[in-house]
Amino acid sequence: MTAQRTEPLAITPVAAAGWRTACLAAHLNGERFEGLFATIGDAETVELRALFSSPAETRLIVCEARDRSVETLVEEIPAAAWDEREAHDLHDLRFVGHEPLRPLLDHHAPLAAWTVPTVGHDTHEVAVGPVHAGVIESGHFRFHVVGERVLYLDVRLFYKRRGLEAAATGHPLATSLAYAQRACAACAVTNSVAYAQACEQALGFAPDRELGRARTLLLELERVYNHLHDISAICAGVGFAAGTMAYATMKERAQRLNERLAGHRFLFHTVRVGASDQTLDAATVQRARSELRELRAEHARAWRQLQFTASLQARLDGVGILTRDDADRLGAVGPVARAAGIPRDLRSESPHLWYQLFDPVTAPGAAGDVASRMVQRALELDQSFTVLDQLLAGPLTSGRTQATFEAAEFGVGRVESPRGATVCVIERNDGRLRAMHLRTGSYANWPALAHATAGNLLPEFPLINKSFELCYACADR
Amino acid sequence: MFVLLNQLRRIRRDMAAPPPVTRSSLALRHVDAGSCNGCEHELTAAANPFYDLAQYGLGIVASPRHADVLLVTGAITTRMKPALLAAHAAMPEPRLIAALGDCALGRNLLGQPDQHAGALEQILPVDLRIPGCPPTPATIAAALIRALEQRSRGR
């Protein structure tokens, strides 16, 4: 493991008038935008935070927006578009220059307010959802189309908003982990680890080797069943039932292994703030290791079959292209960004986890289409199987943390979920949570999905959607 | 492709799922009323070759107008309540309503109270309760097969 990155999170306080200048300075400095959040301060004032990171440093720019107005970042940092719209809807914050500032969470707004107007000969709208035809999460899509061709897609999520972040506040830090976990079953480990790491950073705790190992094991088990699911879903998207079911059975086996190793098919209740109770004896890790090797071989066999099924491959090439430039501009993360040629993976920037010499992979050609996103997941599955094989080389004992750094008011956790970079920012009042912000890989990628859909045929949307395989629950919270 | 099909055939043979005892069927419609996506994953898994709901005559249909059973997952959010009621109203009678998972049953909900419309029971008459967080595909399959058997006996 590399030397521990010194913990302190750089906090840059600015006045409301200097908000844009400070954020753009970070942006121009090559730091990556990772989220913008508003929170209500102690005196009912609105406080703004923007997170930027570079491999060397994570920086939180904080600002008190006294008259609920700051200048927008959006034309320089388009990735901040949803964040600004959300902050506006939740806290009535104005972002001067963000025009039009369309509602995102506000479901009472009239149609014209939240959709982009399209005009021209024969343009019309197709409204889909929130209830979909399959077993799919709830969300509303409004396609602006000419004939079969999609001109623009307006995505309206937040039907599943449970108010988890707000409800998490006021409790002891350890208790509120449950709210981060509940955000999404398929990313439960990632969200919990991001929250736990954020708390530990704020408390000045550094995890020991075993804690890092236990969490990495859980994160990779989560990635394996998700990636198997996603390949199955892409096959379902083109009606290739043999592939769908082959990968569904592998996912089932992975989830049964989760249950045997950690007591839960989705690995719920396995992550804690400050410690880990997971222990696995030598015989158990050995059995798990050989099962994962079998699964890996089965995946390799099935994957070869998929590659030589011409009728499947022909449906994936060139569909739903997200170019590298667009992925970068829109702040896409995870397999979606890597399939577009951006070799970025938070696993190579995770000193508290157990990824030695981890090198991100990108799909050959990195065309950013459905085919690339599927190949990307197959490559990452292989990577995860390798990491798991190393992790399970010996028994696992319980892990804990040590007070190493100075405690602080803020903490940030950054974890690569199966869908990409997930960040959790927490603010604390002594031992209690004052605010939590969870910005998941799915949240970051939704605008990229809408963008990649434009120009494709309407019936291709289910396939494109499945190749992104974003969680609605993760975004809605 | 034959390699895949052979493998699937082997799994089905090894699983030896109980044979169907009735020749009737139930068409299922799912509405996610605010879940964490766990119940959706497990409901989908109930159709995989290990559980194979389809062989019992249990299949998901695309429209509530074709459905006998409404499977509701999730804490019922205020934002999803109208869509849930619309899906219910579109179903022909007789119909069964199932609360799938602890959230729909109103158990151990997390979040702000003003975002929740209450347990499914307070909104629609519930016929079938499938507990679990999330219920396993085995639990889901067993509950639906039982409902199918009861229903065909009642006829």
Q: How far apart are CA A238 and CA A461, in angstroms?
A: 11
Q: Do B45 and A255 touch (CB under 8 A)?
A: yes
Please, which residues have CB within 8 angstroms of residue B31's CB and are 6 or more apart in sequence?
A131, A138, B64, B70, B71, B72, B73, B80, B83, B84, B87
Asked if B102 has any chain A CB less than 8 Å from its own CB, the reply is no
Please, which residues have CB within 8 angstroms of residue A427's CB and are 6 or more apart in sequence?
A39, A202, A409, A410, A433, A434, A435, A436
Kindly state the DSSP code that residue B123 receives in the 8-state scheme.
Answer: T
If we measure between CA atoms, which residue out of B13, B1, B48 comes closest to residue A243?
A: B1
Six-digit token pair at B129? 């309760």
CA distance A246 to chain B (A): 6
Instruction: Judge contact between A268 and A259, C-beta under 8 A.
Output: no
How many residues does this entry show for chain B? 155
Confidence at residue A195, expressed as pLDDT on a 0 to 100 scale: 97
Q: How far apart are CA A348 and CA A359, in angstroms?
A: 6
Q: What residues pair up with A432 in beta bridges, in sequence order?
A: A172, A429
Q: How far apart are CA B28 and CA A406, in angstroms?
A: 55
Asked if B63 has any chain A CB less than 8 Å from its own CB, the reply is yes
Chains A and B: how many Cβ contacts under 8 Å?
138
Confidence at residue A6, expressed as pLDDT on a 0 to 100 scale: 52
How many residues does this entry show for chain A? 477
Distance from chain centroid for Cα A461 = 21
**For A164-441, which CATH superfamily applies?**
Cytochrome-c3 Hydrogenase, chain B (1.10.645.10)
Asked if B101 has any chain A CB less than 8 Å from its own CB, the reply is no
Instruction: Judge contact between B1 and B33, C-beta under 8 A.
Output: no
The CATH topology of domain A1-101 is: Beta Polymerase; domain 2 (3.30.460)
Q: State the SS3 of chain A.
A: CCCCCCCCCEEEEEEHHHHHHHHHHHHHCCCEEEEEEEEECCCCCEEEEEEEEECCEEEEEEEEECCCEEECCCCCCHHHHHHHHHHHHHHCCEEECCCCCCCCCCCCCCHHHHCCCCCCCCEEEEEECCCCCCCCCCCEEEEEEECCEEEEEEEECCCCCCCHHHHHCCCECCCCHHHHHHCCCCCHHHHHHHHHHHHHHHHCEEECHHHHHHHHHHHHHHHHHHHHHHHHHHHHHCCCHHHHHHHHHHHHHHHHHHHHHHCCCCCCCCCCCCEECCCECHHHHHHHHHHHHHHHHHHHHHHHHHHCCHHHHCCCCCCCCCCHHHHHHCCCCHHHHHHCCCCCCHHHHCCCCCCCCCCCCCCCCCCCCHHHHHHHHHHHHHHHHHHHHHHCCCCECCEEEEECCCCCCEEEEEEEECCEEEEEEEEEECCEEEEEEEECHHHHHHHHHHHHHCCCEHHHHHHHHHHHCCCCHHHHC
| b/e burial code for range A234-243 (CB count within 10 A of at least 16 → b) | bbbbbebebb
Q: How far apart are CA A391 and CA B62, in angstroms?
A: 43
Please, which residues have CB within 8 angstroms of residue A352's CB and are 6 or more apart in sequence?
A4, A197, A206, A207, A212, A215
CA distance A111 to chain B (A): 16
Interface test with A, best of B79, B103, B109 (most A CBs within 10 A): B79
Q: Quickly tell me which residue has 């479901």 as its tokens.
A: A107
Confidence at residue A1, expressed as pLDDT on a 0 to 100 scale: 37
Domain of B24, CATH number, reads 3.40.50.12280
| Cα end-to-end distance, chain B, whole Å | 42
> Chain A, 62-121: which have a CB under 8 Å from a chain B CB?
107
Interface test with A, best of B4, B5, B10 (most A CBs within 10 A): B4
Q: Do B111 and A167 touch (CB under 8 A)?
A: yes
Enumerate the residues of chain B whose CB falls inside 8 A of the CB of residue A301.
Answer: 3, 7
Enumerate the residues of chain B whose CB falls inside 8 A of the CB of residue A309.
Answer: 1
Is the pLDDT assigned to residue B14 strictly greater than 90? no
Closest CB from A249, A305, A473 relative to B48 = A249
Is the pLDDT assigned to residue B129 strictly greater than 60? yes
Asked if B122 has any chain A CB less than 8 Å from its own CB, the reply is no
Q: Do A135 and B40 touch (CB under 8 A)?
A: yes
Asked if A159 has any chain B CB less than 8 Å from its own CB, the reply is yes
Amino acid at B113: P
Pick the residue from chain A with its C-alpha nearest to B64.
A133
A123 phi, psi to nearest 5 deg = -75, 140
CA distance B144 to chain A (A): 16
Six-digit token pair at A346? 């938070």
Q: How far apart are CA A442 and CA A459, in angstroms?
A: 22
Enumerate the residues of chain A whose CB falls inside 8 A of the CB of residue B7.
Answer: 246, 249, 298, 301-302
Domain boundaries, chain A: 1-101, 164-441
* Number of domains comprising chain B: 1
Name residues of chain A where pLDDT drops below 50. Answer: 1-5
Q: Which domain holds residue B53?
A: 2-154
Closest CB from B11, B38, B75 relative to A185 = B38
Is the pLDDT assigned to residue B12 strictly greater than 90? no
Three-point CA angle A381, A191, A330, nearest 5°: 75
Q: Quickly tell me which residue has 């508290």 as its tokens.
A: A352
Asked if A266 has any chain B CB less than 8 Å from its own CB, the reply is yes
Enumerate the residues of chain B whose CB falls inside 8 A of the CB of residue A167.
Answer: 110-112
The pLDDT of B118-145, averaged and rounded, is 95
Enumerate the residues of chain B whose CB falls inside 8 A of the CB of residue A313.
Answer: none
Asked if B32 has any chain A CB less than 8 Å from its own CB, the reply is yes
CA distance B155 to chain A (A): 29
Pick the residue from chain B with its C-alpha nearest to A268.
B133
CA distance A253 to chain B (A): 10
CA distance A161 to chain B (A): 7
Asked if B3 has any chain A CB less than 8 Å from its own CB, the reply is yes
Asked if A179 has any chain B CB less than 8 Å from its own CB, the reply is yes
ipTM of the complex: 0.93
